[in-house]
Amino acid sequence: MTDIFYKALLSALTQLNIALPEGAPVKFAKYADFLIEYGKKVNLTAITDDSEIAVKHFADSLALLKYIDIKPASSVIDVGTGAGFPGVPLLIARPDLSLTLMDSTNKKLQFVKEACEKIELKPEIIHIRAEDAGKNPLFREKYDLVVSRAVADLRVLAEYCLPLTKVGGVFAPYKGDVNRELKEAQNAISTLSGKTQDLFEYELSGYMKRSIIVIRKISQTSPKYPRTSTQISKFPL
């Protein structure tokens, strides 16, 4: 990876006041190289420019660390992880976390598995649909922190993610300009036993505005949720 990549990454993280552990920048560079290489045969991301990968994928994924104090050894699940964002960058920066990467697309999970092996990370990788995981006692209400980035409208995403969140834990979706979406999702969040606690907005190196919402899980989610994916998408709460 080029010097441009390193400069863009470190500049964006300086803006966020986030420091990386020793060896992390090299892991990010290896991950970026493999993302570009693997993306030639499997569609992983439309972003292939060095500096844009550094900022739009890596620094954006790490922005959560500026706004949420994640306790050591917390259990974290990345729902709809795709090419590993935000979960893998969070694990590079916080190797103490107990990270699970979940997606319904096996091709993307195969990339994530191989990429993590290259940079010597060992997250749990699960091939399952989020609505099925939310009904499964192995995963339901098991996680201190549930994250998701660029997956679905917040009303829909809340029904996928809040059933996985521990009571007292946090669901923290990454979004763009989210004010309208957040307002429309309040009924869904409340119905699923969540409560909006904070909304953090930021910009990275002149790119478009980004948001992280902090939704606290205040009680157990009713066992009737999540519904089927068809019901969730056609009749959002």
pLDDT in tens, 170-200: 999 999 888 889 999 999 999 999 999 999 9
| Start-to-end CA span in the chain (Å) | 44
Q: What is the pLDDT of residue 62?
A: 97
Residues of the chain with confidence (pLDDT) below 70: 1, 206
Q: What is the pLDDT of residue 1?
A: 64
Q: What is the pLDDT of residue 84?
A: 96
- One DSSP character per residue, the chain reads --HHHHHHHHHHHHHHT--PPTTHHHHHHHHHHHHHHHTTTS---S---HHHIIIIIIIHHHTHHHH--PPTT-EEEEET-TTTTTHHHHHHH-TTSEEEEEES-HHHHHHHHHHHHHTT---EEEE--HHHHTTSTTTTT-EEEEEEESSS-HHHHHHHHGGGEEEEEEEEEEESS-HHHHHHTHHHHHHTTEEEEEEEEE-STTPPPEEEEEEEE-SPPPTT-S--HHHHHHS--
Contact 182, 199 (CB under 8 A): yes
Q: What is the pLDDT of residue 38?
A: 86
Q: What is the pLDDT of residue 208?
A: 73
Q: What is the pLDDT of residue 119?
A: 96
Q: What is the pLDDT of residue 61?
A: 96
Q: What is the pLDDT of residue 40?
A: 83
**Domains of the chain from N-terminus onward:** 70-234 (3.40.50.150)
CA nearest 230: which of 129, 147, 96? 129
Q: Which residues neighbour 14 within 8 Å (Cβ) at sequence distance 6 or greater?
A: none
